[in-house]
Each structure stands twice: as C-alpha cells, then as structure tokens.
Amino acid sequence: MKAIKSIFILLAIVFVSACSDSDDPQLGFETDLTEINSITENGLKVTLFASEDFFVGYNNITAKIEDENGNLLSGDIVVTPMMDMMTMSHSSPIEFPDGTTFQDGSFNFSPVFVMPSGEMGSWSIKFSINETEVTVPVEVSAPEKARLVSFMSMMDETTKYFVAYIDPKDPQVGQNDLEIAVFKKQSMMEWPAVTGMEFELEPWMVSMDHGSPNNVAPAHTENGHYKGTVNFTMTGDWQIRLTMKDNGNTCGTPYFDIYFQ
C-alpha cells in the first residue's frame, strides 16, 4: 500500500512540474525595464521595453518576441525604424549590439530617432522575424534638453550629420565619461555610422561664463562611437561644446545643454 501511495505521489510531482513548465511562457525572459508598446500580428507578439519613453536621439530598446500562445521564440530578425510622412517615408540610424539573431524571446537594438512624432509624421518599428512581418507603432517625443544635434557639413554643405548624446546620463560634479555617436544621412533608408572624425571639447558653464579643466576630447572607439571625459567643476547649467573635424577641417560645432543639481 505504501508503495502504491509513493507511486501516486511521484506521478503527482511529475504532473505538477510538467504543467508548471508548459504554463509559464515567461520562463527565460526577465527585465526590469518599462513596457512601452505591444502588438500581436501574423501569429507573433512583439513587446517593446525601455528605461524611458522613446525620444529623439539614441534609444536602447529590448524586444520580447513570442508566438500567439506566449511561447518565447528564437531565430533571425531584421529591424527597421520607419517615419511615415504621408507623401514620403524614411528610416533612421540603428544599431544591433548583439547581431541580428535572438534567443529565448529577447532582442536588443538601438535606434536613433531623428525627429519626433506629430503633425509631420508617425513612427513605427518594422520587424521581420524568421521572415514573418510585424509592425509596431511607437510614439517619439522631443526631450526637454536635446539629445540629438543635426547639421549640414561646413565643408560641402551637402552632407548632413547627426550627433547623438549618450553619456553621461546622470552627470555629477567631477569627471564624467562622455560618449557620443555620429551618423550621416546617405539616403532615405541609409544612415551609416561616421568614423575617423576628430573632436575638440569645451565644457562651458553658461550662467557663470567659464569653462573647466581636465577634459579629454572624445575619440573614436568603434561603429561611429566616440568616448572621452568631461569635467564639471560645479552643479548648474552647462554646455558640452564640440568642434567636429575631418582631416583637420571643421565640419560643424554641435553642442548639448546639460543641467544638474
């Protein structure tokens, strides 16, 4: 009798374990990011997560990819941000830090939205997931302090550059890691990274009309990203003033406004 009872207990444990595994489609996907938008289309569900709402500039996004039954998928993926302006459409710069395959339903990508949603047009992110198409509409706002500067080259007045501010996200008094990324508009669909530029850096405190010492101008690391060090000697309103040069010739003088207490 005890042997029969033990068998029943063992079977019950196996059954409960099997049900738990099959009823938990979230297994393998964990994030502390905020859900921004989700859509189910063509038998797939794509949910977008980020640390904040999407903005004009360099965004880090995680996509959760499931089938319509909630099972996490793996495979190949192509992601294209698109701005529909009624009479025309265009894409924007985008990076794939881990390549264009994904596992356990998780995929990271970094689009650089070049304009806000609104009267001029609307943004969406188009996914090709194992050759199945899904389009997720998204809202993009203009941040209070600009995180993207665009300008025509002073050298030829035909090349349009986009400089994205990445770090420091939370500036502090003292030396801060500085990171920017540079892209150019080659066509409506091609926005390649720009390498080989040289930068001069001058932090400037606007209200006090002075700069700061001990800065390191951003230098190219990889894929159009440039890293350096910016030093803030006190809290308040600052500008990170940059001079961008190509072979010694000035292309532009972008700057970013920073304020912290």
All structural domains of the chain, each given as residue ranges with its CATH number in brackets, are: 34-138 (2.60.40.1940), 148-260 (2.60.40.10)
Question: Higher model confidence: residue 96 or residue 3?
Answer: 96
In the prediction, which pLDDT does 28 show? 73
What are 78-106's pLDDT values in tens digits?
999 999 999 999 999 999 999 999 999 99
11 has pLDDT over 50:
no
Distance from the first to the final alpha carbon of the chain? 74
In the prediction, which pLDDT does 243 show? 98
Q: What number is the average pLDDT over the span 245-257?
A: 97
What DSSP state is assigned to residue 190? -
Q: Report residue 219 as tokens.
A: 């230098």
What DSSP state is assigned to residue 17? H
The answer to pTM > 0.85 is yes
Q: Which stretches of the chain are DSSP H helices?
A: 2-22
24 has pLDDT over 60:
no
What CA–CA distance (Å, rounded) separates 171 from 167? 8
How far apart, in Å, are the Cα atoms of 206 and each of 122, 148, 182, 211?
35, 20, 25, 9
C-beta atoms surrounding 159 within 10 Å: 17
Residue 114 sits at the vertex; the CA angle it makes with 86 and 33, to the nearest 5 degrees, is 110
Q: What number is the average pLDDT over the span 24-29?
A: 58
Chain-wide mean pLDDT for the chain?
A: 91
